[in-house]
Amino acid sequence: MNILLRITSYTLKFKLYLILGYICTVGAVISYLLIPELLGGIVDRIDPNSTNESIYKSLNLTFLLIILFSLGCTRGAFSYGQNYFGEALSFKVSKVLRDQLYDKTQKLDFYFHDKTHTGEMMSKVIVDIEGIRMFIPMGIVRSPYVFLMFFGSIILLLIKNFELAIYACSFLVLSGFLAARMRLKLRQIWLKVQEKNAELNALLQENLNGIKVVKAFYAESHQINKFSNTNEEFKELNINVENFRAITMTTVLFAYWATLALILAIGGLKVINGEMSIGDLISFMFYMQLLAMPVRMIGWLLNASTRGSTCGKRIFEVLDTKPQIANPSNANTNFYKMKGEIIFKNVSHQFPDAKSESVKDVNLSIKKNQSISITGEAGSGKSTLVQLLLRFYDPSNGAIYIDGKNIKDINLGILRKNIGYVHQDVFIFNETFKNNISYGDPDASMDKIIEAAQIAQIHEYINSLPDKYNSLISENGANLSGGQKQRLSIARTLLLDPPILILDDSTSSVDASTEKDIQKAINKLISGRTVITIAHKLNNFQQSNNIAVMNKGEITEYGSHDHLINLNGIYKNIYELQTTN
């Protein structure tokens, strides 16, 4: 569908505002168009030499002035209504769009998020939506105003004086040509402006997120230059838009005033020769004035519509993105607790644009309540394998079953609520400790929250803070140590008491004694659930029934600790390296 039409279709959700906006528009046009006619009539009524035998001659002057005054007030009131309903409508639509966009970004999968820059997304939510919003009062509510004023003025000009009206039209031809040229040019510039804006946002966001790295590498000036260059280009593009618009509009205005002078000269001669009354000439000049308004507005209209359509294109692109991870439509949506038997059957996965598979033909069967460990060098595919289980990605080959059911046939919410995943890259919300731990279950009791914190060995620390569980954590846990963040994220997962628990390198940043404590606590938790522990440190594996060693996406060794030692392979190598150290 055409982008502008699609934006228009959103306004239909608020029909009342749209209808009231249009009523005010028509009211404003009618009262506006009546004013010059009345004004001319009053002038002829006052002029004792006027030969114009109109109805105004017979009417009371005070009465005519009262009507003129009332028309002015009516026009003002209608203009107010037109502005109010147009703007209110635009804010209503932009709220819907912002909600939809946010909703969509929450629902889109990692195939989308992996390749989308956060800053760019923020720019879409804020700047592009504003571009669409600004199109609504101008392009949708006011465009009939422009249209009606334009044709209304022309028709009345033709009625007033056909010959003069033809001269007036010469100005329109030139304006029309300039407007068409402007639309083409603006479309190209606006697209660039929006892209630059997104780039600027992305830079800013990345810069602030990575401020520690920037400072550690003493790279502030490099970052400042990078930002300043993009900022400069953004400024230039914006100036270009305005410059281009100003040149076009000045030319249009120049043409207008030249035409007006021409008409005054020819019209003046007609009045002198008695072919036209002064009142008619004044009406005519006022209609010319009215005609200038829509012509000037065409510039704004074109600007708003080209900007609206470029912004709309960027927004609808996201809204139209279909998630690759589909939630099965006919799956049971009532929450149930899984038993936790997991089977990976010939599972392979290759990331889009990746040269090789990150997981290769993995066959792995984990019984209910079994605890297994996965190790292997960095980049060997451990995290990818467990993320396939959570359906962050779908295998390109093979299938994964939980309790005998293909996970593609399980409702996503139910699947993910049954799996507690302590992510390798911990993320902490800018919230209190309490809210961070109860993130997955906001209604959890304080006792449960404290219990989870105790198991994760973070309770004592939280209790030592002045506000205890209500203490606020800075953005992404800036006021916490790496180990504290990890323990907090373990507590968050444990609170949900999931039948399947995945710990992805979750004790890598804690000291040896805390790690032992956490391990002990987790060991207690292991009973009654299926646990997958990913770790580089092999001393964490004593509790595991089985150990899988991954190498370049494949499980190359599998079995108990003793079995793997006997195999004399990668596992034994790592083990010996770690124990001799």
| Bridge partner residues of 555 (DSSP) | 550
Q: State which H helix or E strand residue 366 sits in.
A: strand 359-366
Half-sphere exposure of 107 (CA within 13 A, CB side): 14
Closest CB to ligand ATP among 112 and 150? 112
Closest CB to ligand ATP among 469 and 558? 558
Binding segment (CB under 6 A) for ligand ATP, from list 174-182, 231-239, 379-387, 523-531: 379-387
Q: Count the residues of the shown chain that bind Mg ion, applying the rule CB under 5 A.
A: 2
Work out which of 371, 380, 418, 489 binds ligand ATP, going by CB under 6 A: 380
Identify the CA nearest to 422 among candidates 505, 480, 496.
505
Q: Does 382 bind ligand ATP (CB under 6 A)?
A: yes
The distance of closest approach from Cβ of residue 224 to ligand ATP in the complex, given in angstroms and rounded to an integer, is: 30
Work out which of 161, 384, 438, 506 binds ligand ATP, going by CB under 6 A: 384
Binding segment (CB under 6 A) for ligand ATP, from list 213-221, 381-389, 480-488, 495-503: 381-389
Q: Does 395 bind ligand ATP (CB under 6 A)?
A: no
Q: Mask of contacts with ligand ATP, 149-188, x by CB under 6 A?
A: ----------------------------------------
Q: Does 299 bind ligand ATP (CB under 6 A)?
A: no
Work out which of 119, 139, 381, 420 binds ligand ATP, going by CB under 6 A: 381
Residue type for 284, please? F
| Bridge partner residues of 374 (DSSP) | 534, 548
Give 15: exposed, middle or buried? Use CB within 10 Å, 0-12, 13-18, 19+: exposed
Q: Rounded distance, CA 455 to CA 117, Å?
A: 36
Q: Rounded distance, CA 340 to CA 287, Å?
A: 80
N residues, the chain:
581
Binding segment (CB under 5 A) for Mg ion, from list 192-200, 349-357, 382-390, 475-483: 382-390
What one-character-per-residue DSSP string does 525-567 give? HHTTSEEEEE-S-GGGGTT-SEEEEEETTEEEEEE-HHHHHHH
DSSP state of 507: T
Residues 267/161, Cβ–Cβ less than 8 Å: yes
Name which of Mg ion, ligand ATP, none residue 351 binds, using a CB cut-off of 5 to 8 Å depending on partner kind: ligand ATP
Give one word for 397, left, alpha or beta, with left for phi > 0 and alpha for psi -120 to 50: beta
Residues 315/324, Cβ–Cβ less than 8 Å: no
Work out which of 375, 383, 387, 457 binds Mg ion, going by CB under 5 A: 383
Binding segment (CB under 6 A) for ligand ATP, from list 81-89, 251-259, 328-336, 378-386: 378-386
Give one word for 574, left, alpha or beta, with left for phi > 0 and alpha for psi -120 to 50: alpha
- Under rule CB under 6 A, which residues in 98-117 are in contact with ligand ATP? 114
Report phi then psi at 367, rounded to 5: -75, 165
Closest CB to ligand ATP among 37 and 109? 109
Q: Mask of contacts with ligand ATP, 335-354, x by CB under 6 A?
A: ----------------x--x
Give 435: exposed, middle or buried? Use CB within 10 Å, 0-12, 13-18, 19+: middle
Q: Rounded distance, CA 456 to CA 433, Å?
A: 13
The distance of closest approach from Cβ of residue 110 to ligand ATP in the complex, given in angstroms and rounded to an integer, is: 6
Q: How many of the other CB atoms lie within 10 Å of CB of 213?
A: 11
Structure tokens at 5: 């039409």
Q: Mask of contacts with ligand ATP, 424-453, x by CB under 6 A?
A: x-----------------------------
Binding segment (CB under 5 A) for Mg ion, from list 51-59, 207-215, 380-388, 425-433: 380-388
Q: Does 378 bind ligand ATP (CB under 6 A)?
A: yes
Q: Does 379 bind ligand ATP (CB under 6 A)?
A: yes
Q: How many of the other CB atoms lie within 10 Å of CB of 47?
A: 13
Binding segment (CB under 5 A) for Mg ion, from list 26-34, 75-83, 150-158, 419-427: 419-427
- Under rule CB under 6 A, which residues in 400-429 are in contact with ligand ATP? 424
Q: Rounded distance, CA 417 to CA 354, Å?
A: 30
Residues 540/373, Cβ–Cβ less than 8 Å: yes
The distance of closest approach from Cβ of residue 548 to Mg ion in the complex, given in angstroms and rounded to an integer, is: 14
The dihedral over CA atoms of 240, 246, 250, 251, expressed in degrees to the nearest 10, equals 40
Q: Count the residues of the shown chain that bind ligand ATP, applying the rule CB under 6 A.
A: 13
Name which of Mg ion, ligand ATP, none residue 354 binds, using a CB cut-off of 5 to 8 Å depending on partner kind: ligand ATP
Binding segment (CB under 5 A) for Mg ion, from list 71-79, 145-153, 249-257, 420-428: 420-428
Residues 492/440, Cβ–Cβ less than 8 Å: yes
Q: Does 16 bind ligand ATP (CB under 6 A)?
A: no
Name which of ligand ATP, Mg ion, none residue 114 binds, using a CB cut-off of 5 to 8 Å depending on partner kind: ligand ATP
The distance of closest approach from Cβ of residue 549 to ligand ATP in the complex, given in angstroms and rounded to an integer, is: 11
Angle at 361 between CA 360 and CA 363, to 5 degrees: 125
Residues 518/507, Cβ–Cβ less than 8 Å: yes
Binding segment (CB under 6 A) for ligand ATP, from list 4-12, 22-30, 121-129, 374-382: 374-382
The distance of closest approach from Cβ of residue 219 to ligand ATP in the complex, given in angstroms and rounded to an integer, is: 24
The distance of closest approach from Cβ of residue 537 to ligand ATP in the complex, given in angstroms and rounded to an integer, is: 12
The distance of closest approach from Cβ of residue 550 to Mg ion in the complex, given in angstroms and rounded to an integer, is: 10
The distance of closest approach from Cβ of residue 382 to ligand ATP in the complex, given in angstroms and rounded to an integer, is: 4
The distance of closest approach from Cβ of residue 108 to ligand ATP in the complex, given in angstroms and rounded to an integer, is: 14
Residues 462/468, Cβ–Cβ less than 8 Å: yes
The distance of closest approach from Cβ of residue 395 to ligand ATP in the complex, given in angstroms and rounded to an integer, is: 13
Work out which of 161, 303, 383, 533 binds ligand ATP, going by CB under 6 A: 383
Residues 400/346, Cβ–Cβ less than 8 Å: no
Q: Does 324 bind ligand ATP (CB under 6 A)?
A: no
Contact set with Mg ion (CB under 5 A) = 383, 424
Contact set with ligand ATP (CB under 6 A) = 114, 351, 354, 358, 376, 378-384, 424
